[in-house]
Amino acid sequence: MARTPKPASRTMTRVVAAFSGAGRPNSGRAGLAEPSWRIWLRRALPVVGVVAVLALVSAIAYYVYDSNRRGAIVLSNDLITAIDRRVAVQMQAYLAPAQQFLELAVAATHGRDVADGGAEAERLALSALATVGPVTGFSYADPGGNFQFVVRNEQGGYDTKTIDVRDGGRRVTWVRRDAAGKVIATETDPADTFDPRTRPWYQGAEQSKQPFWTPTYLFFTVKKPGISFAIPTYDAEGKLQNVLSVDIELATLCVFLKQLGIGVSGKALIIDNQGRIVAYPSDDWLPADRPDVATPMLDELGDPVLTRVYNRLRVEGYGRQVLDIGERRIIVSSEPVKMLTGRNWVVLIVVPETDFVGFVVDSGWAALVMSIIIVLIVAALTGLMAWRSVLADRRAAAAATRQQALELRTQAFVDLAQGAATDEGLAGENLQGATESAATACDAKRVAIWRFTSDRRALVCEDCFDRAVDDHTAGLEFHRDEMPNLFAALDKGTPIDATDAGRDRRTAELFTTYLQPLGLSRVYLAPIVAAGQTIGLLSVEDPRQGDRAAGLATFCDALSTLLALRFTAAIPGSAAPAAVAAALPPPAEERPPDSFLQRQARLERTLLQQGAVLEELREASVDRAAVGVVKLPTWTSVTQKPSDSEQRTAMDAIVQELSLSIEKSGATYAALLDDQIVVAAFSAHADSIGENARCVATALLALRDRLITFEDDWGTNLDFRLALDVGTVMVSTVGTEPPTRTLWGGALGVAKVLAAAAGRRSIAASETAYEVLSEDFLFRARGSYFLPETGTMRTFVMVGRT
């Protein structure tokens, strides 16, 4: 519909531009708006700051960790070097007295055999051994097999064992002494088979012809691991004269190694240059009951670390290195210790790197975690500040939006008021301008202005503007019978703001019949009240919600007041033509000339196909009967006993009430068939069809209203439907006394079909019923359908009386 733009429309153009932001460069407030990049920069800066601080803290933590680690490694190297030296010094201090003692003993025996030098050597041993700590025994043997052995006993004294094999005999004598050196027993041991010439110390010294250190072995007498130091003596001709030896228990050295604190789990051990273990920091590393067992090699202890160390030492030689074993880094130090006698032993120190630098890692992590916690706290505070900033922005934006909406509505209202002040008032194009202005100002899909009819039974649409199609309609009617709750609410004169119209009892009927088909759910209804009485309605359908809805109610109320002023001043009936047009039946060219005749023709044709002739059925049929069908609620919903009635069930109460209504209606026929009540009115005269149809229509409206009342009273949902048809029905007489008639077929079947397909609580009507009743009753078109019984037929919903 093309129209000359009105001031209100021009205002709305500005409104739309302002809402959409198209006019911002020209508006003062919008022109000062902060650029979006700056807003994002402002919001992102705290985040960037937090990220930067986090990165800085991480870098510092890494630097501190790395430098601490390097320092700890240097310190650990120094420590290991110190331990190396300490072990070397300890060994020197441990072994040197024994060596010196033996050299004195060699000088004392002076190359003599045991028989000659034994007494002197025994005296020396008994007097000196107590002062030479690590030496537990002194051996003196000659090539003839004679042997003297002085050994410390459990009482703290010294026993002397002598083996004399001179003259081909063998005599083994033990002299036992107490701690004071007093001889307490002398005994012989004929079972002793000891031969010093088979012992490692003797054989080693004899073979090497020089002072000889044995490997670690198990002492025969005391059954303890130890080493022996032996010195052979030769005459001028190079003939072996004797061999002297001292036994040194390694228990003291093992205890010393065990007590060394090297990191947390590090250990030091002494090995010879072949990798065989000399001393190990453990008490039971060599089996005490197996004198034949040699001391193990490094790779025979079952320790993977020592095995790797052994392999590396064999390949790379001595030195200090760090081995990666699994996920661990092991520091290995293997420094040779030059013994007094020239024998090379190695002090091997094995310690995990974490024992020295682990505290650096732990403290680094702790520092990093604490730093991160501080950063997170700072980030949370920053985020809180940023969020508050965003909230403030939103509130400012919302306030600006609300302010804008209010200003625009105010301007729209001013324009409307100016339009209303013209000679034409709020009628014609001014009325259309009002709906357009209201629709745009409220950002609603549709805005309509309704006016009560003089009998206040219906609301007629004066003008409705649909923004989606940008067009106006008029003439639609809402009937009080159709929407009793809405009319009751409007009569009170209070606005209705239904966010979900389908759930609001006041607007549920409006939603079902009007809003839902349009796809709308929210509606604001402002009654137009004059002199305390509602005379119309302003409906704003699907208005914008949120901040842009600010002032909506005030605007609508003000607009309804303006409309009330104009309605009361306007000439009665000036807006009526549209409403009258809506009440008129559809244009004649869209209707069949006579739907009843069409149905009759189709019925005749159908009957002929069945071998029957309509004319011959005249006596068994009624030509034009008005038939109403009430499809009663689902039986399970009406089995309860009503609280306000003496009846057994709700259905009894319904049937009772309906029978009274039917009796009052003057219907010719009524029957309860299963869950349907059939009401019919007919007569022999065809010209009384109008009267009969009105009778049944009135009865159906009464029944509908009564059932709605039941719903309200019982607070339940009675799923009832009604239908009305006018047409031929068959009549059969049942031979009772007096005879009763039963209706069947024809219009009764059509009415049943219409009732089954009708909407809840509505009265469906056939085209023939509409044609007969349209002058007196209000109908709404419901669509055309093809029914085999009638052919193509328009259907309607009967709303109420006109």
Partner 1 sequence: MARPARPILSLQAATFGERQLSTTTTRIDLELPRGGITLVQVDDEIDAAALVDLCIGLTAPTDGRVRFLGVDWQSRGPREQLMRRRRIGTVVQTHVWPAHMNVFDAVLVARFYHFDRPRAEVIAEATALARLFGLPGLPVGRRETTPRRALIRAACVRGFLGAPDLVVVQDQALEATADLAVPMAQAIAEALDRGATVLWIVESLAAEAARFVTPDQVFRLGDQGLVQVRRR
Spatial distance between the Cα atoms of 86 and 259, rounded to a whole number of angstroms: 12
Spatial distance between the Cα atoms of 27 and 17, rounded to a whole number of angstroms: 11
Select from 795, 797, 799, 801 the one that contacts partner 1 (CB under 8 A).
795
Which residue stretch of 151-159, 328-336, 404-412, 787-795 sits at the interface with partner 1 (rule: CB under 8 A)? 787-795
Closest CB 517 distance from partner 1, rounded Å: 7
In terms of CB distance, is 228 or 795 closer to partner 1? 795
Which residue stretch of 302-310, 408-416, 693-701, 783-791 sits at the interface with partner 1 (rule: CB under 8 A)? 783-791
Q: Find residue 187's DSSP bridge partners.
A: 174
Spatial distance between the Cα atoms of 785 and 643, rounded to a whole number of angstroms: 42
Peptide bond into 738 cis (omega under 30): yes
Mark residue 688 as left, alpha or beta (left: phi above 0; alpha: psi -120 to 50; beta: remaining): alpha
Contacts of 678 (CB under 8 A, 6+ apart): 627, 628, 629, 669, 670, 671, 672, 743, 748, 751
Q: Which residue has the tokens 């005599």?
A: 171
Question: What secondary structure letter does DSSP report for 637?
Answer: G
Residue 301 sits in the site that holds partner 1 (CB under 8 A): no
Residue 25 sits in the site that holds partner 1 (CB under 8 A): no
Which residue stretch of 219-227, 436-444, 593-601, 776-784 sits at the interface with partner 1 (rule: CB under 8 A)? 776-784
Closest CB 800 distance from partner 1, rounded Å: 21
Which residue stretch of 252-260, 304-312, 622-630, 778-786 sits at the interface with partner 1 (rule: CB under 8 A)? 778-786
Closest CB 790 distance from partner 1, rounded Å: 8
Contacts of 398 (CB under 8 A, 6+ apart): 547
3-state secondary structure of 545: coil
Count of residues interacting with partner 1 (CB under 8 A): 16
Cβ atoms of residues 624 and 728 within 8 Å: yes
For the chain, how far is it from start to end, CA to CA, in angstroms? 30
One-letter amino acid of 557:
D
Closest CB 480 distance from partner 1, rounded Å: 24
In terms of CB distance, is 420 or 769 closer to partner 1? 769
Closest CA to 506 of 516, 517, 494, 518: 494
Spatial distance between the Cα atoms of 187 and 570, rounded to a whole number of angstroms: 153
Residue 757 sits in the site that holds partner 1 (CB under 8 A): yes
Spatial distance between the Cα atoms of 229 and 96, rounded to a whole number of angstroms: 11
Residue 780 sits in the site that holds partner 1 (CB under 8 A): no
Going residue by residue from 508 to 537, which x/- string records binding to partner 1, judged by CB under 8 A? Answer: ---------x--------------------
Spatial distance between the Cα atoms of 267 and 303, rounded to a whole number of angstroms: 12
Cβ atoms of residues 540 and 498 within 8 Å: no
What is the pairing mode between strands 225-234 and 217-218? Answer: antiparallel
Residue 788 sits in the site that holds partner 1 (CB under 8 A): yes
Q: Which residue has the tokens 């090379």?
A: 344
In terms of CB distance, is 4 or 609 closer to partner 1? 609
Contacts to partner 1 from residues 203-222, by CB under 8 A? none
Residue 782 sits in the site that holds partner 1 (CB under 8 A): yes
Residue 792 sits in the site that holds partner 1 (CB under 8 A): yes
Contacts to partner 1 from residues 726-755, by CB under 8 A? 753-754
Closest CB 780 distance from partner 1, rounded Å: 11
Closest CB 787 distance from partner 1, rounded Å: 4
Which residue stretch of 75-83, 110-118, 208-216, 782-790 sits at the interface with partner 1 (rule: CB under 8 A)? 782-790
Residue 756 sits in the site that holds partner 1 (CB under 8 A): yes
In terms of CB distance, is 145 or 791 closer to partner 1? 791
Residue 785 sits in the site that holds partner 1 (CB under 8 A): yes
Residue 676 sits in the site that holds partner 1 (CB under 8 A): no
In terms of CB distance, is 519 or 532 closer to partner 1? 519
* Structure-token pair, residue 6: 């009105």
Contacts to partner 1 by CB under 8 A: 517, 753-754, 756-757, 764, 782-788, 792-793, 795
